[in-house]
Amino acid sequence: IGGAAGRYIGTRVEPTSLPQTVAAFHSLVGIAASAAAIGDFVNAPITTELDKVHLASIYLATVIGSVTTTGSLVAFGKLDGRLDSAPMKHPARDQINMGLGAATLGTGAIVMGAPELGTGVAALGSALTTSGILGWHMTASIGGADMPVVITVLNSYSGWALCAEGFMLDMPLLTTVGALIGCSGATLTKIMCDAMNRDIISVILGGYGTKATAGGEAINFEGEATMTNVEDTVRLLGEAESVIIVPGYGLAVAKGQYPLKEMVETLRNAGKKVRFAIHPVAGRMPGQLNVLLAEAGVPYDIVEEMEEINDDFPKTDVVLVIGANDTVNSAAIDDPNSQIAGMPVLHVWEAKQVIVMKRSLAAGYAGVDNPVFIKDNTDMLLGDAKDTCEKLASGVKDLFGK
């Protein structure tokens, strides 16, 4: 039944909804871990005779499962737009976290004492409650821009919950699988934090800004954005010899990857050098834009990572930014007080001409204004990404007579 339900849900999920779907599924892992742990304790013949490894496994599965459940539900709400993506900034945030953590550890001491059934269930119930509130509070205190990291952290948590269950149920296979998931999630979290110049402890505890944020007031960049139209953009693409396309979450939402692929195909057939630049945290979960482009049939050999392509922007005639914002924000370099200061970004502004396709001039998911929009070599092409890509594809085909 569970497999059928999973298949039913999975086949109906749009690629743009994958991040929140993954978060929702993580909550199910947490529920299963906590329920199995408490159930194992309740069904033990004599709870006072359980060994320390078994008791520790029950306690850890309960706590990690509870944190994973509530944290995943909050992440789902933020990613799906059901909750405000802004971080909850309670003045006593750290004190609340420490209090809940201490209470959770205190109940752990009781569980490790091999208590009788009633006392043990009460302790596990308390641990379930306090750790659940802790998971909710910590995730609610994390801003929407850090949700890609939160997804990988929760993935790691779910693995460690499974690992604890494996010890509890004496199932080596479950322990091994859980350890694999936990370690891979932790490794991916480290990669994501490095890509965003974030400190993992700061992210988990709801920290603000990157490791390089100076703490002063952010620069207020002044200027006006220059608008352009489809016809002028088609002309620029036709005259360019080298083009780099930087896709973002906006492209995924608009489902504009298919007409974009047609335009790229036409340009390449005309002898143009066209490549895609992918930031490690583009979209709202790791690899989302890579999957999106692969789904449309974009050749993998023209899709390059940030480290591979960043030095090529000064030699590029036209950069087309589609639905990306924070990952191309020059404030990360120009403003030491910016919330994203020090975050590695794609240096699109170094190209000869930049065309930014967005619905509006609003800030990105991190809520930081982007000075690239008002640079002299940047033009804004506002509108729906799919509609605009279709017009560009049509215009490029007409230009080259194909």
The mean of the pLDDT values for the chain is: 88
Q: Which of 260 and 286 is assigned the larger pLDDT?
A: 260
Residue 192: per-residue pLDDT: 80
CA distance linking residue 402 with residue 398, whole number of Å: 6
Tokens 């059928």 correspond to 4
Segment 212-230 shows an average pLDDT of 73
pLDDT tens-place string over residues 246-268: 999 889 888 899 999 999 999 99
- Does 207 score more than 80 pLDDT? no
301: pLDDT confidence band, cut at 50, 70 and 90? very high
Amino acid symbol at 381:
L
CA distance linking residue 371 with residue 373, whole number of Å: 5
- Does 197 score more than 70 pLDDT? yes
Helices assigned H by DSSP within 297-352: 306-309, 331-334
As annotated, the active-site residues are: 249, 284, 365
pLDDT tens-place string over residues 103-149: 999 999 999 999 999 999 999 999 999 999 999 999 888 876 677 78
DSSP 218: P
Q: Which residues pair with residue 303 across a beta bridge?
A: 276
Q: Which of 397 and 195 is assigned the larger pLDDT?
A: 397
- Does 381 score more than 70 pLDDT? yes
Chain Cα centroid distance, residue 282: 8
Residue 212: per-residue pLDDT: 47
90: pLDDT confidence band, cut at 50, 70 and 90? confident
94: pLDDT confidence band, cut at 50, 70 and 90? confident
CA distance linking residue 230 with residue 260, whole number of Å: 14
CA distance linking residue 65 with residue 238, whole number of Å: 55
Which of 110-114, 188-192, 371-375 bottoms out in mean pLDDT, i.e. has the lowest? 188-192
Residue 210: per-residue pLDDT: 45
Residue 134: per-residue pLDDT: 94
Which of 4-8, 81-85, 185-189, 350-354 bottoms out in mean pLDDT, i.e. has the lowest? 81-85
| Residue 319 DSSP SS3 | strand
Kindly tell me the number of DSSP H helices and DSSP E strands found in the chain: 15, 7
- Does 57 score more than 80 pLDDT? yes
pTM of the predicted protein model: 0.79
